[in-house]
A = this chain, B = another copy of it.
Amino acid sequence: MEKKLVRSPRTNKEMEVHTFHSSPWTMVLPITAEQEVVMIRQYRHGTEAVSLELPGGLVESEDGTPDDGARRELLEETGYHSPSLLKLGECYPQPAILSNKCYFFLAEHAVKVRKPVLDDGEDIQVIKMPLMEIMSKIRHSEIDNGMVLLAFSLFWMKQKRLS
């Protein structure tokens, strides 16, 4: 976290702002040949609750590109691999406090190739969810992580453009 003293260009007053520098994030929407989404359930310390989400995480220094990071996180968190990763979009998750971007990928024909390999702090349960049920889960607030909702929105927008 970084504290900065900045001057308002409008009022010329000095004030303290708190920002975080972070490497990019990735989020992956993995879909199997049976049209099931590979999701994860994990405990989140901010909300102090279990959250139904999509795999993803920080792009590490050993990852060459966000694609590489997304592929690695998908494999580590779920044990799934996809022959092709398609970029769905990108955004700044919180421009007011975070410097980083989040990159969204679609991983079609995802196949389980091994067991998940979790970081120390991770406690993740892998769940396959029929794609057809996702909208209903969103309407009932069972999926309520903002970036996960955006991932599905980007996917549906892409589908609509292609149809």
State the A residues within 8 Å of B (CB): 1, 4, 6, 8-11, 13, 15, 17-20, 43-49, 51, 53, 89-99, 102, 118, 120-123, 141, 144-147, 149-150, 153-154, 157
Q: A45 is contacted by which of B4, B10, B147 (Cβ under 8 Å)?
A: B4
- Smallest beta-carbon distance A102→chain B, Å: 7
Contact B153 A157 (CB under 8 A): yes
Indicate whether A146 sits within 8 Å of B153 (C-beta atoms), given known contacts A8-B123, A15-B120, A118-B10.
Answer: no
> Known contacts A8-B121, A146-B150; can you find 19 more A-B pairs with CB under 8 A?
A1-B1, A4-B45, A6-B45, A8-B123, A9-B123, A44-B96, A46-B94, A46-B97, A48-B99, A51-B92, A53-B95, A92-B145, A93-B147, A94-B94, A95-B145, A146-B147, A149-B150, A150-B153, A153-B154
- Smallest beta-carbon distance A79→chain B, Å: 16
**Copies per assembly:** 2
Bound-state CA distance A97–B121 (Å) is 14
- Smallest beta-carbon distance A13→chain B, Å: 5
Contact A93 B44 (CB under 8 A): no
Q: A11 is contacted by which of B98, B120, B157 (Cβ under 8 Å)?
A: B120
Indicate whether A95 sits within 8 Å of B47 (C-beta atoms), given known contacts A120-B13, A120-B15, A144-B90.
Answer: yes
| Chain B residues with CB under 8 A of A98 | 46-47
